[in-house]
Structure 1
Amino acid sequence: MRSTATLDKFAKIATVFIFLLLLFILYQILNRGEEPVTIYRAIIDSLLFFVAVFCFFYSTKGYSIHSGKLVIERPIGKKVISLNKLKGIYDYQKIEKGFTIRTFGNGGLFGYFGYYSNDKIGRFKLYSTKRKDFYILDFGKEKIGISPDQPEFIEALKGYVSKPDAPQS
């Protein structure tokens, strides 16, 4: 089973804005003429370019399920997560959210990924293309957020939720 992952409106706007900013900076560098380039300006320009490239390579392009594993497709490579310890799947929009903060991650450029923290859910990793419309996969100690476009993908994942052990008689 495979699902695409398309960017939400905010992520599209943020991505276009950052690219226009990078083009403007590049134009300023090339149109500078005889003016010397300061080391600070060069560092800042390089850092902005590096951040944009980094965000592209780690952005989520889609999801698939193969042999009991969730595969998160990214340009830099696939992130493979075993589904054998999946305890539950929760719709982020339907749970009591509380306050969410990005602790180390990206919040708009090519999507939303990295480490986030929520006072109700706890800490979780996000591999999403949507800011609010995603699902939390609960693996016990680890929680992961994903945002597949096709609802059938979540239904397929629900088949991997581990059932509580039957009482012994």
Structure 2
Amino acid sequence: MFNASLGTTVKVTTVIIVGLFLLIGVALLLLFVLSLSEENFDRKSIMMPIVAIGLFGLLYWVFTERIIGYEVLNEGVKIIKGNDVQLIKKDLILEVKSIDYKDLRFSVRTFGIGGVFGFSGSFTNKKFGDMTWNFTSKDNLVMIVTQKQKFVVSPDNRTLFITKVSEFI
């Protein structure tokens, strides 16, 4: 298995966003508990724990979508996530190549997660068009081009990964 270590940008973004969400969620829960002790309970206060639970749920979902690593198997390339696995079938792979992060600058996120526990989802830019990002570090980027899609991944050992995937092209 090829690990997907977190890069500096992802680590910093994750710490800031998770810390902020936890701080806001805990503050909302504490404010709700304090509002329960008041004589004139405002029914609108019930929204505080609902919003807090929503924030915690969102954090949980992002955590379960994090990229753990990649496996090169006889069937193709497997992207291993927290609660999910995505297989890129080897019959569909046309090309595998190393790319630089500067090629991904000015990409637009159409749906996905941009920096918390990694970059994953659908993105597009002028150079590559539509892409599916599944990477955790901007340093080891590899693009897997298939007949229908382009995938961007970041295995720790980029050279060996490209060699292994190139064997079945």
Bin the TM-score by the shorter chain: 0.7 to 0.9
Structure 2, unmatched stretches of 5+, are 37-43
Q: Could you say what secondary structure the match of 1:141 adopts?
A: coil
Q: Within 2, Cα distance between the matches of 1:124 and 1:137?
A: 10
Question: Which residue of the partner structure matches residue 9 of structure 1?
Answer: 8
Question: Which residue of the partner structure matches residue 62 of structure 2?
Answer: 55
Of 153, 165, 169, which aligns to 2:161?
Answer: 153
Name the count of aligned residue pairs. 160
Q: Could you say what secondary structure the match of 1:149 adopts?
A: coil
CA contact (8 A) 1:92 1:132 kept: no
CA contact (8 A) 1:112 1:131 kept: no
Deviation at 1:25, TM superposition (A): 2.3
Q: Could you say what secondary structure the match of 1:41 adopts?
A: helix
| Identical counterparts, % of pairs | 25
Of 103, 114, 118, which aligns to 1:111?
Answer: 118
Give the residue type in structure 2 aligned to 1:22. Answer: F
Q: CA RMSD in A?
A: 2.2
Q: How does 1:44-83 map to 2 (within 5 A)?
A: 44-83=51-90
Deviation at 1:40, TM superposition (A): 4.1
TM-score (norm 2): 0.83
Residues 36-81 of structure 1, C-alpha deviation per residue, up to 9 Å, x if partnerless? Answer: 5634434432332222111111111000112232111112122122
Question: Which residue of the partner structure matches residue 31 of structure 1?
Answer: 30
Q: Within 2, Cα distance between the matches of 1:94 and 1:14?
A: 17
Deviation at 1:11, TM superposition (A): 0.8
Deviation at 1:139, TM superposition (A): 0.5
Question: Which residue of the partner structure matches residue 100 of structure 2?
Answer: 93
Residues 86-122 of structure 1, C-alpha deviation per residue, up to 9 Å, x if partnerless? Answer: 1112322188557311110101111000000011111
Q: Could you say what secondary structure the match of 1:110 adopts?
A: coil
Q: Could you say what secondary structure the match of 2:137 adopts?
A: coil
Compare the two structures and name the one with the higher helix fraction.
2
Q: Could you say what secondary structure the match of 1:84 adopts?
A: helix
Q: Within 2, Cα distance between the matches of 1:102 and 1:160?
A: 31
Q: Could you say what secondary structure the match of 1:34 adopts?
A: helix
CA contact (8 A) 2:134 2:154 kept: yes
Deviation at 1:22, TM superposition (A): 2.8
